[in-house]
Amino acid sequence: MQSSEPTSKFIKVRCPKCKNEQIVFGKAASVIKCLVCGRVLAEPTGGKIKVKARILEVLD
């Protein structure tokens, strides 16, 4: 399963812990956490993010 998708777009992800759906931006300078439970959903890797949650949709 593809677990990371480096992109500069907005990505809709689902938290694997609490199932919260959240929009994250593909470029981030800091760790992105779930707004509900605090689980790390994505972390920065050289300007882009590595998504550590289920990617539902990539938005333009």
Name the minimum Å distance from CB 11 to Zn ion.
Answer: 15
| Touching Zn ion, residues 40-59 (CB under 5 A) | none
Based on its alpha-carbon atoms, the radius of gyration of the chain, rounded to whole angstroms, reads 10
Out of 4, 12, 20, 52, the residue judged to bind Zn ion by CB under 5 A = 20
Cβ neighbours of residue 29 closer than 8 Å, sequence gap 6 or more: 44
Asked if 17 interacts with Zn ion (CB under 5 A), we say yes
At residue 34, φ and ψ (nearest 5 deg) are -60, 135
- List residues near Zn ion by CB under 5 A: 15, 17-18, 20, 34, 36-37, 39
